[in-house]
Every structure is written in structure tokens, then in C-alpha cells.
Amino acid sequence: MADKHEFDSEADQVQQLVKKSHEMKKMSYCPYSNFPVGAALLTADGTVFTGCNVENASYGLAICAERTAIVKAVSEGHRKFKAIAIASDLKEIAIVPCGACRQVLVEFGVDWDVIMTKPDMTYEVMKTKELLPLCFGPTYLQRVKAV
């Protein structure tokens, strides 16, 4: 019974995260791409940080929704994450994080969940390490060097 209760609350938590990621699309500043993205990041202590993409007239300066959420969380003292939900308006496929965001996600662990959603609230879950195999991460900087 305890297990079932835990399972239910975890499922509820994921639903909430998915819903919040879609709500965050309305905050998106994307006049150039017209491609709103929302994110909701769940920390180890249960706090949720949200994010949206923020574009710029100098196109290359666009910041993705995932990185907005990560930067908000880290700047508030959170570095351990359980999951991030990502949302876009794409109808037929779940939104996936871009390469730069995958790298930023693995910086904070290779074994946490990326919840890739569709507007109908269905989703696919993959671990950060599955989305960026053979990733360069913080441990590389500690390895033995030849010089």
C-alpha cells in the first residue's frame, strides 16, 4: 500500500511537471522562430523551476527553455535534479532537447530523467546519458594528463 501511494504521488508529480512545461510556453519570447518552448525542472528536494526560450535580434543569442530553467535553479542554490519536462506545440512528435542543452543537462548528472512531451500531454522519458552518449563531463577535467 505504501508503495502504491508512493507510485501514485510520483506519477502525479510527473503529470504536474508536464502540465507546467506546457503552461510555460505562454511565457516564451520567440518573435523570430515563432517556436515556443517551455520547461519545468524538478530538483532533488521537490522544488520546481520553470523556463521558456528567450530569443534575441542577434539570433545566435537565443537561450533555450531548458537552459533558462537550469540557470534559474542553479542561481538559487539547486544542483541536484530529478527530472525536466520539455514542451512545444509540435503535434505529432515529442520535443527533444538541442545538443547544447543536452550538454548542460549532463553537467548536473548523467542519470536523471528528461521528459519529452507533446501537447496532448503524452510523453517519452529518457535519461540524460541516453540523450548524450559518450559525453564530455566534469570528471574529464580530473583525469590524468599526458603533460
Task: Supply the residues annotated as catalytic.
Answer: 66
Please give the Cα distance from 105 to 110 (Å, whole number): 8
Sites for ligand THU among residues 97-116 (CB under 6 A): 97-98, 101
| Nearer Cβ to ligand THU (7/104) | 104
Which among 110, 112, 115, 113 is positioned nearest to 136, based on CA atoms? Answer: 110
- Does 126 contact ligand THU by CB under 6 A? no
| Shortest reach from residue 124's CB to ligand THU, in Å | 14
Q: Please identify which residue in 18, 21, 25, 55 interacts with ligand THU, judged by CB under 6 A.
A: 55
54-87 per-residue burial string, b: 16 or more CB within 10 A, e: under 16? bbeeeeeebbbbbbbbbeebeeeebeebbbbbbb
**Residue window 30-49: x/- pattern of binding to ligand THU, with contact defined by CB under 6 A:** x--x-x-x------------
